[in-house]
Every structure is written in C-alpha cells, then in structure tokens.
Amino acid sequence: MLEAISQNRFAVVAVILFGIGLLNMMLQQNLLKKVIGFSIMDSAVFLLLASLGYIEGHGAPIVEEGNVNASLYINPIPSGLVLTGIVVSISVTAFSLALIQRIYRHYGTIELTELLERAKKEED
Amino acid sequence: MRPLYENLPFICMFIAIVCGVLSAVIRDGQKAYRLALTMTAAIAVLSAILLYCLYTENVSFVYSMGRFAAPYGNAIKAGPLQALMATAFAIVMGLSLLGGGQSLFHDILPEKQGLYFVMTDLLLAGLLALVYTNDMFTGYVFIEITTIAACALVMAKDTGPNLIATIRYLFMSLLGSGLFLIGLTLLNSITGYLLMEPLAKAVAILAELGQYHRPLIVSIGLMVVGLGIKGAMFPFHLWLPDAHGGATTSSSAILSGLVLKGYIMLLITLMTRVFGLELTREVGVSNILLTLGLLGMIFGSLAAMREYHVKRMLANSSVAQIGYIFMGLGLGTEAGIAAACFHILVHATCKPLLFICAGRLSTVSGHHRSLKNLRGSAYRDVAAGVGFTVGALSMIGIPLLGGFVSKLYLSEAALDSPFMAVVLLTIAASTVLNALYYVPAILAIWVRPPWEEARIILLDVKPEETRFDRLFFFAAAVFICLIFLLGIVYHPILNIIRVGIQLM
C-alpha cells in the first residue's frame, strides 16, 4: 500500500490538489477564490502531465547534432502539452480577473450570493 | 497527387482566424460587420463545395498539419458529416448576425462594436476546429478558445446582470474543460497517444484485454461529463438561461444555435471515432446520457413554462432540446446518433430564428421583453411574427417542419432500445410540454391587447425602430426556408449524416 503510494506520489498529490481546486471552485462564494480554485485545479493537471512524461535519470530532450539516442531523454510530448495548457490557463485566468474587476466596479462586491440578489432586483 | 479540396477545411479555419485578427485592426463596427458576413458566406460556400466532393466520392480524409507524421503530429479529419456541420454552422452564424444586426448596434457601445466581431470570427474558427479536429489536445485548446469567445459574446451588452451571467457561465465552462483535460491526461497516460486513430486502436486493445479497466472508465466518464457541462446537459444547465437569455439577440442566437453544438459534435466524434459505440454502451456512459437527456427534456420544458421573459423562455427551451440530442446519443446506436445529428441541424435553424424574431418583436415594442408587453407585437412586424410562429411550431413538432422529422427519427431509433417505452413516453410528454409554452407565446404575440395597454407600450417605441428592417427580413425568410427544407426534403440530408457516421 505505502509502496504503491510512494511510487505514484505525483499522481496522488495531483488528485488531492485537483479535489481541493474543484471544491474551491464549486463551493466558494467569493469570485476571486473561485479563480484561485481554478488555478489550483489546472496546476494539479499540469503536475500529473509533467510527472507522466518524466523518466527517472533521463535528461531534457534537447537533441545535439548527430547524437540522437531516445533512451537518454524524457518523453517530450507531455511537457509540450503542459506548456500549451499553461498558456490556455493564463489567458483564461486573465479574462476572468478582468471580468471580476468589471463586476466589482459595477456592484462594489464580488460575493456571488449578493451579486445574484442584486441582479435579480435590477431585473424586476 | 491528392485532390485539391482536401485543403478546404484548413482554409476555412484560417480565413476565420485571419478575419478575427483583421477585425481587431479595423475597429470600425460597420466594416467589421460586413467583413464577418462576407467571411461566413465564403466559409459556407467552401464547406458546401467540400461537402459535395466528399459526398459524391463517398470518402473521408485525414489532413496532417505540419511535418510530423502520425501517430505524433497534428491532424484534421473531414468526412461528409463534418462538412455538413461546417456548412450549417457558417450559414447559421451569418444569418444570426444579419437578423440581430439592428439590436446589436443598439446594445453594444460604439467603440466596442469592432471587437464584438473579433469574437464572432474566432468563435466560428473554434467551432470549425471542434468539428474537424482529429487530435484530442487540439480539441481541448479549441474548447477553451470557443469558451472565451462565447463568454465575450455574452458580456458584450455590458450591463450588470449580463456580467454576472458571464462569470457564472465562465466558471461552469472552466469546470467542464478542467474535467475534460484531466480525463484526456488519464487517457494519454494509459495509451500514449493523442491522435484519434491510434488512440482508438489502443483503447480497443485495452478494452479487449481488460487492462486498465478502471482508469479507462474514469477517463471516459470525465470527458463525457466535461463536454456535457459545456453542452448544457441536465443538471449542469443552470448557467444557461441567464447567459443565453440576457445577451444581445445575435449572441443569444449564436450561443443557443451553435456553441452548444460544437461541444456536442466533439462528443459525437469521441463516441464514434475514439471509444466506439460498443465500449460506451458497455461502460454505462450511454445509459447516463440517456437518463440525463430524458430528464433534461422534461425539466427544461417545465422551467420554460414558468418563464415570462421571452428570451429566457427560449433559453430554457434550449435545455429541453439539448436533452433530445443527448437522448439520441444515449441510445448508443448509429440510428440514434444520426437522429441526434439531424436534431442538431433542426435546433440550429429553429432556435436562432426564434431568438432573432423575439429580438425584433421586442425592438418594435420599445425593448420590452416580457410576453405580457409583447401582446399584439406581431402586427407591428408581420415577418417577425410569422418567423416566431414557424420556429415555435417546428419546436413543437408539427409535420412539414424540421422538428417533426427529428422527433420521428429519434422515436424510430428508440424502437430498438431496451428502454423503448420510457423514451417514447418522454418524447410524447415533452411534446405536450413544448406545446404548453409555445402555443401561449404564439397566441400572445398575435392577439391584440386592449387599446389603453397598447398605447402605453407604444409610447416607448421610437419611430425609426419600427421601420422595415431589410436584413432581418432576409435572415428570417432564409431561416424559414431552411426549416421547411429540413422538414420536407429530409431524406438526402439524413443520407449524408448516415454516410458521414459510417466514415467518421
């Protein structure tokens, strides 16, 4: 049992982090905390991806001229995915932060329950 | 030498992205509007040519992007079904922009109008990529691009409730794409591929040997739920009514008619090309889709019945109609998926028509939105009244209109299912429920209110807004023709869909 956990320590940590992020995103009422939850969730996925491509003792896949030996390098594809994922995550975070700022200027609060009440009143 | 038409899918996406960038440079609303319309027309024509070539030759092809060959590179795959959807998406996008043009320029601040079209152009690029992609990770990236563009369309109106609806939509979407991403990661870790064909082979081998059974089920479940959240599957639809109902008319039409469908098309691709229908049935995903689809059909309609705000009523009705699509997918047979694809087309024509007509009716009634204040509004713009009536009757399922055919084929597909009785009863119940809120809405717009009440409303109406709107008339007329086309000459269209599913 313990051995299995220590072998899969990255996966275990990633799942715990994913759970923390997911719950924060679902249950927090503060919009900023929701964004933080989302960031944690995405980081967990990136940790999992990066650890999946890592092979103990192998180096970064930078190929030198005339020296192509696949057994020296880690698997580069997950690392590439992590990079793309980080770009996506950053742009989404920036977008939501801008949106939250706009909401704050409009209503003066970023608590979701309060905002929903205010919006309902505004419509009636 | 490979045929020239194989370049068309890539060219379509490229045109859409370039137009998006150009609109950001132009910044002038009217010019960007014309550019967006020209772009959708060009993409519709190119996709129709592609559809014709692929259907007559009965082929699908893989087009690799970049220098790396399979199984590592990136690729798109197009068959008749993909070409059909791309054509439909481009046409509906163009007509929604045409039909909602007037309220679009009324609702959005002048300096932001150019940027609105950046988002519509990128949205179309994202939708095309979701339809054509043959690579899971590209699928994920374009899910996010589509999400951001769709959120920007919701918030374009820039009122308080709108911003709140956007942030709720955004968080729900991020949850969906987060689940999709971790499902994708798990699948990649047990198979080692991202390109769909090698992935499908690896999944089939794993399923046959019974290896990694649990991770496989978990990853399939996460991806389906992730796409389900984005596609407004019951019970993950709570963000939809405010987001779709509160946005400006064109946005509502595009969001309800197209954006949901992009994610569902990706789900269909996953189910048929990657996992295979047999595996989805075996692990129980089909039954979950079926159950949630049936619940959505009932509860979406019940929510719509309680609504007095016309656009939110239409948005709630979308939940019910999306339920039909998920129900078709949940049958887990090719007939079910074909019927679901046909319903995608039907809903993609009816709902934008309803939204642009509702938008026009509320424009000629002094921007009132509740059904009570829209009484008799059909006489102020007869085209909008007729369009609303045709769309609503099609959603109820009256023969000669598209909605009838898709219900017919969904029921026919259900005959082979072990849950035949439940499915047929739910379709019947849902049809009655649809009628229960669409018929009063039709009556409301055609029955003249007492004169004093009408006068109060007419006080809010500006004379220049009741002027005949040529572009709206054209868009509504084309939508009505398309609905009749889907309802009368459905055979060739279903044939294309069936061939397309075979060639997935």
Encode pLDDT of B388-410 as tens digits. 999 999 999 898 998 999 999 99
Which residue type sits at A43? S
Domain-located, residue A94:
yes
Q: Which of A21-25, B14-18, B58-62, B303-307 has the highest mean pLDDT?
A: B14-18
**CA nearest neighbour of B74 among B8, B146, B139:** B139
Which residue type sits at B168? R
Report the alpha-carbon distance of residue A58 to residue A76 in Å, rounded. 11
| Residues A100/A31, Cβ–Cβ less than 8 Å | yes
Tokens of B59: 């082929």
Q: Give the list of residues 6+ apart from residue B237 with CB closer than 8 angstroms, or none.
A: B296, B300, B319, B322
Say what the pLDDT of residue B213 is.
87
| Signed CA dihedral, B115, B121, B125, B127: sign only | positive
Beta bridge partners of B408: none
* Three-state secondary-structure class, residue B256: helix
CA distances from B341 to B262, B292, B407 (A): 12, 18, 12
Does A74 touch chain B if contact means CB atoms closer than 8 Å? no
Report the alpha-carbon distance of residue B133 to residue B125 in Å, rounded. 12
Tokens of A3: 């051995």
Domain-located, residue A61:
no
Query: Over 80: is that where the pLDDT of B483 sits?
Result: yes
Say what the pLDDT of residue B316 is.
92
Please give the interface size between A and B, counted as residue pairs whose CB atoms are below 8 Å apart: 81
Closest Cα in chain A, distance from residue B178 (Å): 7
CB contact under 8 Å between B164 and A91, yes or no, is: no
CB contact under 8 Å between A26 and B185, yes or no, is: no
Residue with tokens 């905002």: A115
ipTM given for this complex: 0.90
Q: Give the list of residues 6+ apart from residue B101 with CB closer than 8 angstroms, or none.
A: B33, B250, B471, B472
Report the alpha-carbon distance of residue B258 to residue B255 in Å, rounded. 6
* Three-state secondary-structure class, residue B46: helix
| Residues B410/B339, Cβ–Cβ less than 8 Å | yes
Domain-located, residue A65:
no
CA distances from B485 to A14, B53, B147, B261, B395 (A): 51, 21, 31, 20, 15
Report the alpha-carbon distance of residue B131 to residue B129 in Å, rounded. 5
* Three-state secondary-structure class, residue B89: helix
Say what the pLDDT of residue B94 is.
94
**Alpha helix stretches (DSSP H) within B58-159:** 80-99, 101-107, 113-132, 136-155
The DSSP secondary structure of B418-429, one letter per residue, reads: TTHHHHHHHHHH
Report the alpha-carbon distance of residue B17 to residue A75 in Å, rounded. 32
Average pLDDT over residues B7-17: 94
| Residues B360/B99, Cβ–Cβ less than 8 Å | yes
Report the alpha-carbon distance of residue B132 to residue B137 in Å, rounded. 13
CB contact under 8 Å between A38 and B171, yes or no, is: yes
Reported as a pLDDT band with limits 50, 70 and 90, residue B258 is very high
Say what the pLDDT of residue B261 is.
93
Radius of gyration of chain B (CA): 22
Check whether the bond before A76 is cis (ω within 30° of 0). Answer: no
Say what the pLDDT of residue B270 is.
93
Residue of A nearest to B147 (CA): A92
Domain-located, residue A63:
no
Which residue type sits at B198? P
**CA nearest neighbour of B270 among B259, B285, B258:** B285
Reported as a pLDDT band with limits 50, 70 and 90, residue B434 is very high
Nearest to A106 among B163, B185, B188 (CB): B163
Which residue type sits at A119? A
Class of residue A59 by CB neighbours under 10 A (exposed 0-12, middle 13-18, buried 19+): exposed
Query: Over 80: is that where the pLDDT of A67 sits?
Result: no
Strand runs labelled E in B271-418? none
Min mean pLDDT across A26-35, A85-94, B466-475 is at B466-475
Report the alpha-carbon distance of residue B266 to residue B420 in Å, rounded. 27
Domain-located, residue A28:
yes
Containing structural domain, residue A98? 2-55+73-123
| Residues B312/B242, Cβ–Cβ less than 8 Å | yes
If phi > 0 it is left, if psi is from -120 to 50 it is alpha, else beta; for residue B291 that is: alpha
Within a 13 Å sphere around the CA of B114, how many CA atoms are in the beta-carbon half? 11
Residue with tokens 């496989």: B216
Tokens of B67: 């220098």
Domain-located, residue A68:
no
What are the sequence ranges of the domains in chain B? 285-504
Closest Cα in chain B, distance from residue A38 (Å): 7
Query: Over 90: is that where the pLDDT of B456 sits?
Result: no
Interfacial residues of B (vs A; Cβ cutoff 8 Å)? 72, 137, 140-141, 144, 147-148, 151, 155, 160-161, 163-168, 170-171, 174-175, 178, 181-182, 185, 188-189, 194
Q: Give the list of residues 6+ apart from residue B372 with CB closer than 8 angstroms, or none.
A: B308, B444
Return the DSSP state at B69. Answer: P
- The domain that contains A118 carries what CATH number? 1.10.287.3510
Residues of A within 8 A of B170 (CB-CB) are 92, 95-96, 99
Phi, psi of A73 (to 5 degrees): -110, 160
Say what the pLDDT of residue B245 is.
85
Domain-located, residue A48:
yes
SS (H, E, C) B442-488: HHHHHCCCCHHHHHHHHHCCCHHHCCCCHHHHHHHHHHHHHHHHHHH
CB contact under 8 Å between B141 and A92, yes or no, is: no
Query: Over 90: is that where the pLDDT of A72 sits?
Result: no
CB contact under 8 Å between A48 and B164, yes or no, is: no
Average pLDDT over residues B281-302: 92
Query: Over 70: is that where the pLDDT of A124 sits?
Result: no
Q: Give the list of residues 6+ apart from residue A35 with CB closer than 8 angstroms, or none.
A: A93, A96, A97, A100
Query: Over 80: is that where the pLDDT of A61 sits?
Result: no
Reported as a pLDDT band with limits 50, 70 and 90, residue B18 is very high
The count of structural domains within chain A is: 1
pLDDT in tens, B76-112: 999 999 999 999 999 999 999 999 888 888 888 888 8
Reported as a pLDDT band with limits 50, 70 and 90, residue A49 is confident
Beta bridge partners of A43: none
